[in-house]
Chain A
Amino acid sequence: MGAGPGRRLKAASFLVIPFLLLTACPLVAQAPAASQAQQIADLQQKVTAAQSNADNGWMLMCSALVLMMTGPGLALFYGGLVRKKNVLSTMLQSFSMMGVVSVLWAIIAFSLAFAPGSHFIGGLQHAFLHNVGAAPDADYAGTIPLQTFMIYQLMFAIITPALITGAFAERIKFSAMMVFLSAWSLIVYAPMAHMVWGKNGLLNAALGGRFPCLDFAGGTVVHVTSGVSALVCAIYLGKRVGYPKEPMPPHSVVLSVIGACMLWVGWFGFNAGSALSAGSLATSAFVATHFGAAAAAVAWSATEWVLHGKPSALGAISGAVAGLVAITPAAGFVSPISAILIGLIAGVFCYFMVAKVKAKLGYDDSLDAFGVHGAGGTLGAILTGVFASKAINPILKDAQGNALNLGVVDGNWSQLGYQLVGVVIAWVLAAIGTIILLKVIDLTIGLRVSSDDEVDGLDLTQHGEEGYYWEASAR
Chain B
Amino acid sequence: MTKLEAVIQPSKLDAVKDALLEIGIDGMTVIEVRGHGRQKGHTEFYRGREYSVDLLPKVKLEIVMQDEMVDAAVDAIVKAAQTGKIGDGKIFKSKIDDVIRIRNEERGPNAI
A residues with a Cβ closer than 8 A to B are 244, 247, 249-250, 304, 307-308, 310, 312, 314-315, 318, 351, 354-356, 359, 368
- Give the residues in chain B near A359, CB-CB below 8 Å: 48-49
Top 5 nearest A-B pairs (CB, nearest first) are A355-B48, A247-B51, A354-B47, A308-B45, A249-B46
In Å, the complex CA distance between A244 and B51 comes to: 11
Nearest chain A CB to B97 CB, angstrom units: 26
Which of B45, B47, B51 gathers most chain A CB within 10 Å? B47
Interface residues on B, range: under 10
Residues of the B chain whose Cβ atoms lie less than 8 Å from the Cβ of A368: 47
- CB A367 to nearest CB in B, in angstroms, measures 9
B14 at the interface (CB under 8 A from A): no
- B51 partner residues in chain A, CB cutoff 8 A: 247, 249
* Inter-subunit contact B48/A354 (CB<8 Å): yes
Contact of B48 among A244, A247, A249, A356 (CB under 8 A): A356
Q: Which partner residue on chain A sits nearest B46 by CB separation?
A: A249
Bound CA span A331–B44, Å? 35
* Complex Cα spacing A351 to B46, Å: 11
Q: In the complex, A356 Cα to B48 Cα: how many Å?
A: 7
CB of A312 within 8 A of CB of B46, answer yes
A368–B49 CA distance with the chains assembled, in angstroms:
12
Contacts of B46 in A (CB 8 A): 249-250, 312, 314
Residue numbers in B under 8 Å from A314 (CB-CB): 46-47
Chain A nearest CB from B22 CB (Å) reads 34
List B10-61 residues whose CB lies under 8 Å from chain A. 44-49, 51
What is the CB-to-nearest-CB distance from A32 to chain B, in angstroms, rounded to a whole number?
75
Q: Beyond A355-B49, A359-B48, list 14 extra A-B contacts (CB 8 Å).
A: A247-B51, A249-B46, A249-B51, A304-B45, A307-B48, A310-B45, A312-B46, A314-B47, A315-B47, A318-B47, A354-B47, A354-B48, A355-B47, A356-B48
- Give A355's nearest chain B residue, CB to CB: B48
Closest chain B CB from A302 CB (angstroms): 14
